[in-house]
Amino acid sequence: MIWQAFWAVVRRDLLLAWRRKSEGLSAVFFFVVVAALFPLGIGPELNVLRNIAPGVLWVGALLSSMLALQRLFEADYRDGTLEQMALSPVAMPLLIGAKMLAHWLVSGLPLVLLAPVLGLQFDLSGDALVTLTLALLVGTPILSLVGGVGAALTLGVRGGGVLLSLLVLPLFVPVLVFGAGAVEAQVSGLGVQAHLSILMAMLLPAVFFGPLASAFALRIALE
Amino acid sequence: MNILRANFLFHYAGPQAFYGLAGRLWPWCAALAAVFGLWGLWLGFMVAPADAQQGEGYRIIFVHVPASWMSMVIYMAMAFWSVLGLTFNTRLSGMMTRALAPTGAMFAFLSLWTGALWGKPMWGAWWVWDARLTSELILFFLYLGYIALTSAIDDQRRGDRAGALIAIVGAINVPIIYFSVKWWNTLHQGASVSLTKSPSMAQVMLWGMLLMALCFWLYTIALVLYRVRTTILHRESHTAWVRAIAQEAA
Amino acid sequence: MLTISNISCVRGHKPLFAPVSFSLQAGQALHLEGDNGVGKTSLLRIICGLSPADAGEILWNGSSLNKQNPEVVESFRASLCYMGHNLSLKDELTPIENLLFDAQVAGRSLSHEKGMGALRKIELNNRAHLPLRVLSQGQKRRTALARLSVSEAKLWVLDEPFVALDAQSLDNLRALLANHVLQGGMLLFTSHQVVELSQPNGHALDVQPIRLVAA
B153 CA: distance to closest CA in chain A (Å): 6
Q: Which residue of C has its CA nearest to A2?
A: C107
- Using the beta-carbon criterion (under 8 Å), do B237 and C13 form an inter-chain contact? yes
Q: Which of A32-41, B101-110, C45-54, C176-185 has the highest mean pLDDT?
A: B101-110
DSSP state of C204: B
pLDDT score for C172: 86
- C10 with C74, same domain: the answer is yes
pLDDT score for B192: 42
Residue type, C36: N
- Using the beta-carbon criterion (under 8 Å), do C90 and A16 form an inter-chain contact? yes
Percentage of residues of chain B with pLDDT beyond 70:
86
Percentage of residues of chain C with pLDDT beyond 90:
27
In angstroms, the CA B72 to CA B54 distance is: 27
The arithmetic mean of pLDDT across residues A6-25, rounded, is: 90
Domain boundary among C109, C124, C153: C153
pLDDT score for A119: 92
Q: Which residue of C has its CA nearest to A3?
A: C107
- Structural domain count, chain B: 1
pLDDT score for B2: 59
Q: Is residue B157 part of a domain?
A: yes
pLDDT score for A139: 95
Q: Which of C9, C13, C67 should we substitute to test contact with B (largest number of B Cβ atoms within 10 Å)?
A: C13
B177 CA: distance to closest CA in chain A (Å): 6
C106: phi then psi, degrees, rounded to nearest 5 = -80, 10
- Structural domain count, chain A: 1
Q: Is residue B246 part of a domain?
A: no
- C38 with C142, same domain: the answer is no
The set of chains that have 3 or more CB pairs under 8 A with A is B, C
Inter-chain contacts counted by CB atoms under 8 A, chains B and C: 3
pLDDT score for B245: 85
Closest C-alpha to C204, from C175, C170, C184, C163:
C175
Q: Is residue B39 part of a domain?
A: yes
pLDDT score for A91: 93
pLDDT score for A129: 93
B72 CA: distance to closest CA in chain A (Å): 15
On the question of pLDDT at B13 being above 90, the answer is no
On the question of pLDDT at C88 being above 80, the answer is yes
Provide the pLDDT confidence category of residue B200 given band limits of 50, 70 and 90: low
The arithmetic mean of pLDDT across residues A83-110, rounded, is: 95
Task: Please write the tens of the pLDDT for every residue from C109-162.
Answer: 888 888 888 888 888 878 888 898 899 888 888 898 898 888 889 999 999 998
- C99 with C197, same domain: the answer is no
The region of weakest confidence among A7-11, A194-198, B144-148 is A194-198
Any alpha helices (H) in A88-192, and if so which ranges? 92-103, 109-121, 126-153, 160-187
pLDDT score for B188: 62
Task: Please write the tens of the pLDDT for every residue from B30-43.
Answer: 888 888 888 888 88
Closest C-alpha to A87, from C90, C89, C81:
C81
Provide the pLDDT confidence category of residue B206 given band limits of 50, 70 and 90: confident
pLDDT score for B53: 64
Q: How many C-beta atoms lie closer than 10 Å to residue A120's C-beta? A: 12
In angstroms, the CA C75 to CA C155 distance is: 11
- Using the beta-carbon criterion (under 8 Å), do B176 and A174 form an inter-chain contact? yes
A81 CA: distance to closest CA in chain C (Å): 5
Q: By residue range, what is the domain housing residue A154?
A: 2-222
- Which of A86 and A190 is assigned the larger pLDDT? A86
- C93 with C145, same domain: the answer is yes
ipTM: 0.90
Answer whether C18's CB lies under 8 Å from C214's CB. Answer: yes
- C180 with C195, same domain: the answer is yes
B interface with C, Cβ–Cβ below 8 Å = 237-238
pLDDT score for B6: 65
The region of weakest confidence among B46-50, B90-94, B223-227, C4-8 is B46-50
On the question of pLDDT at A16 being above 70, the answer is yes
Q: By residue range, what is the domain housing residue B113?
A: 26-47+60-234
Q: Is C108 helix (H, G, I), strand (E, B) or coil?
A: coil
Task: Please write the tens of the pLDDT for every residue from B86-95.
Answer: 998 888 999 9
For residue C45, give the CATH number of its domain: 3.40.50.300
In angstroms, the CA B213 to CA B111 distance is: 13
Across chain A, mean pLDDT equals: 92
On the question of pLDDT at A88 being above 70, the answer is yes
Q: By residue range, what is the domain housing residue C162?
A: 1-79+157-215
Task: Please write the tens of the pLDDT for every residue from B65-74.
Answer: 899 989 999 9
pLDDT score for A183: 92
pLDDT score for C163: 85
pLDDT score for C68: 75
Q: Which residue of B has its CA nearest to A181?
A: B184
In angstroms, the CA C177 to CA C156 distance is: 9
pLDDT score for A158: 84
pLDDT score for A117: 93
In angstroms, the CA C91 to CA C94 distance is: 8
Provide the pLDDT confidence category of residue B249 given band limits of 50, 70 and 90: confident
* Class of residue C155 by CB neighbours under 10 A (exposed 0-12, middle 13-18, buried 19+): buried
- C70 with C142, same domain: the answer is no
Map chain B to HEC letters.
Answer: CCHHHHHHHHHHCCHHHHHHHHHHHHHHHHHHHHHHHHHHHHHHHHHCCCECCCECHHHHHHHHHHHHHHHHHHHHHHHHHHHHHHHHCCHHHHHHHHHHHHHHHHHHHHHHHHHHHHHHHHHCCCCCCCHHHHHHHHHHHHHHHHHHHHHHCCCHHHHHHHHHHHHHHHHHHHHHHHHHHHHHHHHCCCCCCCCCCCCCCCHHHHHHHHHHHHHHHHHHHHHHHHHHHHHHHHHCCCCHHHHHHHHHHC
Provide the pLDDT confidence category of residue B193 given band limits of 50, 70 and 90: very low
- Which of B47 and B247 is assigned the larger pLDDT? B247
Across chain B, mean pLDDT equals: 83
pLDDT score for B41: 83
- Structural domain count, chain C: 2
pLDDT score for B55: 67
Task: Please write the tens of the pLDDT for every residue from A204-223.
Answer: 999 999 999 999 999 999 98
The region of weakest confidence among A210-219, B189-198, B199-208 is B189-198
